[in-house]
Amino acid sequence: MVEDRQRRRTAIASELDGGRLIPLRRPPVLNLHDDPWVPERVPLSLVDERWGALCESNPRYFDGGILHVLGVVRNGHGGVTIHVARSSYRFYAVQRTGIDTGTRPLGVKGLCRHGSRWLMGKRSGSVAFYPGQWEFVPGGSVPADAEPSDVLLRELREESGWTPVGPARAVAVIYDPDAYSWEIISTLEVEPSDGAGTEPWEYDEIEGVEAGSEPAPLAPVARSMIRIRDGLSDE
């Protein structure tokens, strides 16, 4: 039975790579499967070898629990169910070395607005994906047993030091083929603070940007999020 479930998961995962953008009218629902997910596309010995090399090149790497997306299914009334299983970050991280383990983590990203400006950051050279490119802040992977909305607020505090004004609202789910990840996109009103408790190593610069004046180069996922943001103004 376990093998049958794994085969079904592999079949679902193989359908995800085409890229999707799903607008939301209500929050997504997470369905956590019992069995942990381990990649079958590549030998685990190769994963361990590549992971060791990554850790040697960048001591900030550490292995932790993530949620691997098995499938995203529309559940009617403007919502989706995201089927997930617990997995390990190293299976995801090694994909930057040129091997595709099939790992598709669940992440969160924010469209954070302060007045007419939107919070954006230029990725540092030490990050796994989009180094040197601009994207919307914050963003991060969802650990196992964590609420996506809580992760979004924590990442906002740690990456920018800005504070929320009111609750976050999930507006879309997208698949980012360049970073191999599914992302829950939420809007959030924010305001500047003193920056206490921030860990801005992921970004060389963070600033509020007027719509239409986004700096270059833009990460592909940022271009997708601009379409989501601009679509919200038509609601």
Q: In the predicted model, is pLDDT for residue 8 greater than 60? A: no
Q: What is the pLDDT of residue 128?
A: 79
SS3 218: strand
Q: Verify cis geometry, omega within 30 degrees of 0, for the bond prior to 23.
A: no
Structural domain that includes position 70: 2-232
Complete DSSP assignment for 40-77: -SS-HHHHHHHHHHHHHH-TT----EEEEEEEEEEEET
**Where residue 56 sits, what CATH number does that domain have?**
3.90.79.10
Lowest mean pLDDT segment, chosen from 1-5, 136-140, 199-203? 1-5
Count of domains for the chain = 1
Q: Can you say how many angstroms the Cα of residue 196 is from the centroid of all Cα atoms in its chain?
A: 24
Give the pLDDT confidence of 137-178 residue by residue, as tens digits: 999 999 988 999 999 999 999 888 899 999 999 999 999 999
